[in-house]
């Protein structure tokens, strides 16, 4: 079978030599390919070759429908997913040629059909595999397969990025591939080899004898076999490791006998045990990171003993009254399965480690509480001023970190806050952007000459004065929709890709108790802010925001 890429037979032979014995371990393979046809061009979405060990028969190939699936809303665009059964040699040759450019998405067709793909780089090197890979296309029976991958080294093509926004297309990919490649972008536009353990059909490690004086672990390996052939278990070695009290304690190398049974005697009760199965010919086949055994399980049960009805009063014309029912659950039974073991030192250390990690997590949390806690005596003015200064310094430190994006969102952000915070960033490429509210701009404040003026008028005059000094670094201010009730209620500070949620307004930081915390999903908030920014009005006459002023 000739592939599309210009790869010499010498190069293919060298790769086949690196995978020596591969065709014997895996006679057949199933090649699965998902592709997009758009703008008269085929594009690779993802593909993998699944190799079947000698004791299994690969299923026949199939396609999802007689014709490619039409993408709703995109005329002329189609998605295809095909599976073709080929020999392992042909699958490997296809994979090697795809690594050099051009992916043939029709292996058994008279003429190749080429799909456009980014430049691909192999990981790991030819002849080697990675195990314990988080591969969303692997199935349970693969039992932690060995994976080789061709990693895309460029961004996906434009049509693929456009497909990303099509909900129906992504649902189709989820149904046919078993996962959505747009949520697992490390696989998008790439290829992979999937090869299960060719020696062991199953492998188990379990405690078979346990006392306070020690523990015996039993190992049971079942070889792959057919009427004509049985895999040689004696080529395997099992390495058993133990971690206890956050440290490595032991490692034991256990040769496997022909019958597939072996034991490991530990001088004490084990804690977290892991293992690796290594073949002297094929290398690492399986690995399991250290994990604890389940010693005791507590089971609690409750029954629904009735319901209670709650009435919510009306909150005005737009908030009618409501009524709902909530169940009442009563505990009826608690069961304990298993029992604790006498390993007091390890348990004590584990509790101390958990406490330390919890404390470190609290100390490293991206949050800060502003203001003074209540005390028996009223806070002195100096204490209030100190609290206000600490809060302002914290915000200023965040503002100075911005390299690309600096946005303030606060319905009451006024002239004082512009100078106190927005001008603190020293980088010439950063133009502060401010989303404020109409109600805050209507309030009166003391102007430059001591007269009371609306904050909006004062801010316009101040920005004009700053423009002569700062030029393009002059803050850009826009007024959120909503008149006196701004469409955004909360306060936000955007620093490059980060978003911080601030409880109090920036004009009263430190005066009352309030919290600022980094948002765990910033993209959602940035998109919301970008849409409100486009719908907002400039503080004074000016051009609408450009496309670059998005999330």
Q: What is the pLDDT of residues 365-388, one digit of tens each?
A: 999 999 988 875 566 788 889 999
Residue ranges and CATH numbers for the domains of the chain are 9-195 (no CATH), 199-298+325-364 (2.60.40), 381-538 (3.30.870.10)
Per-residue confidence (pLDDT) for residue 547, from 0 to 100 = 36
Radius of gyration of the chain (CA): 32
Among 45-54, 346-355, 524-533, the least confident range = 346-355
CA dihedral for 69, 72, 75, 79, sign (positive or negative): negative
Helix (H, G, I), strand (E, B) or coil at 152: strand
In the numeric block, which tokens belong to residue 255?
Answer: 């040769």
Element (H, E) at 91: helix 88-99
pLDDT in tens, 44-77: 999 999 999 999 999 998 888 889 999 999 999 9
In the numeric block, which tokens belong to residue 262?
Answer: 């072996």
DSSP 187: T
Record the pTM: 0.75
How far is CA 295 from its chain centroid? Answer: 32
Q: How far apart are CA 541 and CA 472, in angstroms?
A: 16
Per-residue pLDDT at 302 exceeds 90: no
Per-residue pLDDT at 497 exceeds 50: yes
Segment 124-130 mean pLDDT: 94
Beta strands in 246-382 (DSSP E): 247-255, 261-266, 272-279, 283-292, 296-312, 322-338, 367-370
Helix (H, G, I), strand (E, B) or coil at 516: strand
User: Pairing mode, if any, of strands 190-195 and 41-52?
Assistant: parallel
In the numeric block, which tokens belong to residue 149?
Answer: 């991958």
Q: Which of 255, 259, 270, 257 is nearest to 207 (CA)?
A: 270
In the numeric block, which tokens belong to residue 184?
Answer: 């697992």
Per-residue confidence (pLDDT) for residue 6, from 0 to 100 = 64
Residues 264-281 as b/e (b if ≥16 CB within 10 A, e otherwise) read: bebeebbbbbbbbbbbee
Size of the chain in residues: 551
Per-residue confidence (pLDDT) for residue 543, from 0 to 100 = 36
Per-residue confidence (pLDDT) for residue 379, from 0 to 100 = 65
Among 30-34, 317-321, 508-512, the least confident range = 317-321
pLDDT in tens, 197-240: 999 999 999 999 887 778 999 999 999 999 999 999 999 999 99
Q: At 269, phi and psi to the nearest 5?
A: -60, 130
CA dihedral for 59, 65, 68, 70, sign (positive or negative): negative
Average pLDDT value for the chain: 89
Q: How far apart are CA 172 and CA 163, in angstroms?
A: 12
Q: Which of 335, 345, 329 is nearest to 300 (CA)?
A: 335
pLDDT in tens, 150-192: 999 999 999 999 999 999 999 999 999 999 999 999 999 999 9
Instruction: Name the packing angle between helices 88-99 and 9-18 (round to 10°).
Output: 120
Instruction: Give first-to-last CA distance, the chain, whole Å.
Output: 48
Per-residue confidence (pLDDT) for residue 58, from 0 to 100 = 94
Within a 13 Å sphere around the CA of 298, how many CA atoms are in the beta-carbon half? 3
User: Pairing mode, if any, of strands 200-211 and 214-223?
Assistant: antiparallel
Contacts with 486 (C-beta within 8 Å, 6 or more apart), sequence order: 411, 437, 438, 439, 480
Q: At 70, phi and psi to the nearest 5?
A: -80, 130
Q: Which of 55, 52, 146, 34 is nearest to 91 (CA)?
A: 52
Q: How far apart are CA 194 and CA 135, in angstroms?
A: 9
Segment 329-354 mean pLDDT: 79
- Tokens 């999330």, residue located: 551
- Tokens 């932690």, residue located: 144
In the numeric block, which tokens belong to residue 19?
Answer: 């995978």
Q: How far apart are CA 331 and CA 301, in angstroms?
A: 6
């Amino acid at each position: 079978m000739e592939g599309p890429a210009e790869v010499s037979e010498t190069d293919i032979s060298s790769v086949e030599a690196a995978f020596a014995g591969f065709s014997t371990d895996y006679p057949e393979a199933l090649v699965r390919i998902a592709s997009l046809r758009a703008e008269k061009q085929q594009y690779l979405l993802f593909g993998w070759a699944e190799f079947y060990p000698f004791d299994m028969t690969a299923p026949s190939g199939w396609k999802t429908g007689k014709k490619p699936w039409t993408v709703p809303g995109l005329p002329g665009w189609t998605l295809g997913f095909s599976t073709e059964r080929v020999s392992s040699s042909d699958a490997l040759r296809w994979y090697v040629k795809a690594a050099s450019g051009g992916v043939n998405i029709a292996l058994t067709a008279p003429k190749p059909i080429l799909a456009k793909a980014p430049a691909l780089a192999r990981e790991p090197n030819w002849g080697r595999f990675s195990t314990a890979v988080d591969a969303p296309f692997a199935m349970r029976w693969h039992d932690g397969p060995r994976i080789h991958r061709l990693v895309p080294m460029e961004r996906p093509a434009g049509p693929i990025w456009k497909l990303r926004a099509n909900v129906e297309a992504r649902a189709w990919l989820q149904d046919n591939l078993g996962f959505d490649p747009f949520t697992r972008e490390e696989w998008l536009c790439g290829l992979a080899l999937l090869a299960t353990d060719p020696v062991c059909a199953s492998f188990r490690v379990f405690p078979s004898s346990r006392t306070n004086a020690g523990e015996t672990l039993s190992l049971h390996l079942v070889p792959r076999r057919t009427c004509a052939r049985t895999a040689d278990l004696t080529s395997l070695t099992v390495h058993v490791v133990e971690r206890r009290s956050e440290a490595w304690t032991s490692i034991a190398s256990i040769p496997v006998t022909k019958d597939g049974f072996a034991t490991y005697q530990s001088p004490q009760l084990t804690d977290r045990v892991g293992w690796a199965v290594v073949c002297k010919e094929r290398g690492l086949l399986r690995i399991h990171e250290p994990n604890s055994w389940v010693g005791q399980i507590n089971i609690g049960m409750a029954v629904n003993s009735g319901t209670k009805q709650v009435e919510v009063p009306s909150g005005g014309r737009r908030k009618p009254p409501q009524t709902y029912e909530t169940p009442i659950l009563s505990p009826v039974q608690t069961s304990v399965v298993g029992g604790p073991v006498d390993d007091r030192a390890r348990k004590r250390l584990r509790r101390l480690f958990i406490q330390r990690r919890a404390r470190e997590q609290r100390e490293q949390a991206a949050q800060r509480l502003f203001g003074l806690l209540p005390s028996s005596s009223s806070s002195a003015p100096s204490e209030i001023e100190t609290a206000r200064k600490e809060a302002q310094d914290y915000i200023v430190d965040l503002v100075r970190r911005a390299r690309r994006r600096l946005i303030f969102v606060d319905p009451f952000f006024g002239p004082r806050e512009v100078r106190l915070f927005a001008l603190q960033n020293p980088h010439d490429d950063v133009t502060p952007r401010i989303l404020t509210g109409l109600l805050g701009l209507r309030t009166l404040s003391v102007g430059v000459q001591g007269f009371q003026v609306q904050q909006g008028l004062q801010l316009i005059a101040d920005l004009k004065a700053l423009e002569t000094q700062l030029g393009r670094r002059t803050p850009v201010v826009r007024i959120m929709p909503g008149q006196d009730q701004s469409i955004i209620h909360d306060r936000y500070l955007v620093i490059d890709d980060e978003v911080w949620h601030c409880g109090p307004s920036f004009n009263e930081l430190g005066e009352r108790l309030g919290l600022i915390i980094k948002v765990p999903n910033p993209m959602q908030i940035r998109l919301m802010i970008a849409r409100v920014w486009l719908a907002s009005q400039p503080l004074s006459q000016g051009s609408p925001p450009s496309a670059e002023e998005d999330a």
